[in-house]
């Protein structure tokens, strides 16, 4: 795997690492609690942190792969140019929302840094946990900008939408053939 591909999918890899670490810690804690009768004191706190990180890494990954919730019914009724415009407007609204959240979180992160507040059991400074949120919202902003650029390029390459429709139809046929093979 080359560095460009890794960096392009970094949120997926980091989210996966967080999820795997969380499952391993929870599994170790269950074994410790029910087999060894001694639980890991810090497991709940760390798993909560990892869970939150995996959610936001996943959200950034979903933006990159265009898998966020959308009203496909409305989009499918539009011509390619109208669809592109509506999708770009959707991305701009999403960026505005992310911007509000991102800049709303920053004062909290700064306050946690100034106060030196730490997590109760692990002693991890809370600002180290919360600082990931604006970073991940910024990553979502970058991914949304990349998506807008890609949508314009896609429209320029296929203004009638015929190539995309043919590709979607071929994918559906392939999926149906695969389902028929599994059914046999």
- Taking a C-beta distance cutoff of 8 angstroms, is the pair 121, 42 a contact? yes
Mean pLDDT of the chain: 84
Lowest mean pLDDT among 6-20, 66-80, 92-106, 132-146: 66-80
Residue 39's domain spans which residues?
3-159
- What's the confidence (pLDDT) of residue 69? 66
Report how many domains make up the chain: 1
163 pLDDT more than 90: no
Evaluate if pTM is beyond 0.95.
no
22-34 pLDDT, tens digit each: 999 999 999 988 8
Model pLDDT, residue 85: 86
- Asked if residues 52 and 18 have their Cβ atoms less than 8 Å apart, the reply is no
168, part of any domain = no
On whether residue 63 sits in a domain, the answer given is yes
At residue 117 the predicted structure's pLDDT band, cuts being 50, 70 and 90, is confident
Mapping DSSP onto H, E and C, the string for the chain reads CCHHHHHHCHHHHHHHHHHHHHHHHHHHHHHHHHCCCCCCCCHHHHHHHHHHHHHHHHHHHHHHCCCCCCCHHHHHCCCHHHHHHHHHHHHHHHHHHHHHHHHHHHHHHHHHHHHCCECCCCCCEHHHHHCHHHHHHHHHHHHHHHHHHHHHHHHHHCCCCHHHHHHHHHHHHHHHHHHHHHHC
> What was the pLDDT predicted at 71?
66
Residue 32 lies in a domain: yes
Q: What's the confidence (pLDDT) of residue 100? A: 93
177 inside domain: no
Residue 21's pLDDT is what? 95
Answer whether residue 174 is part of any domain: no
Highest-scoring range by mean pLDDT, 65-69, 99-103, 118-122, 159-163: 99-103
Stretch 144-155: mean pLDDT, rounded?
A: 87
Average pLDDT rounded to a whole number, residues 47-55? 90
Tell me what pLDDT residue 27 has: 92
Query: Is 54 contained in some domain?
Result: yes
pLDDT above 80 for 180: no
Tell me, yes or no, whether 109 lies in a domain.
yes
Whether 170 maps to a domain, the answer reads: no
Least confident among 89-103, 117-131, 164-178: 164-178
């Amino acid at each position: 795997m080359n560095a460009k591909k890794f960096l392009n999918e970094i949120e997926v890899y980091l989210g996966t690492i967080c999820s795997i670490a969380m499952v391993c810690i929870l599994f170790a804690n269950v074994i410790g609690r029910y087999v060894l009768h001694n639980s890991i004191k810090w497991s709940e706190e760390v798993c909560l942190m990892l869970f939150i990180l995996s959610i936001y890494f996943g959200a950034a990954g979903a933006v990159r792969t265009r898998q966020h919730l959308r009203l496909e019914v409305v989009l499918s009724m539009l011509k390619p140019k109208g669809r592109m415009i509506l999708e770009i407007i959707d991305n701009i609204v999403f960026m505005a929302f992310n911007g509000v959240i991102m800049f709303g979180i920053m004062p909290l992160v700064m306050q946690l840094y100034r106060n030196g507040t730490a997590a109760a059991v692990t002693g991890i400074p809370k600002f180290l946990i919360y600082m990931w949120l604006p970073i991940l919202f910024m990553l979502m902003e970058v991914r949304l900008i990349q998506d807008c650029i890609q949508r314009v390029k896609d429209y320029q390459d296929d203004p009638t939408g015929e190539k995309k429709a043919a590709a979607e139809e071929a994918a559906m046929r392939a999926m149906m053939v695969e389902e028929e093979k599994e059914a046999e």
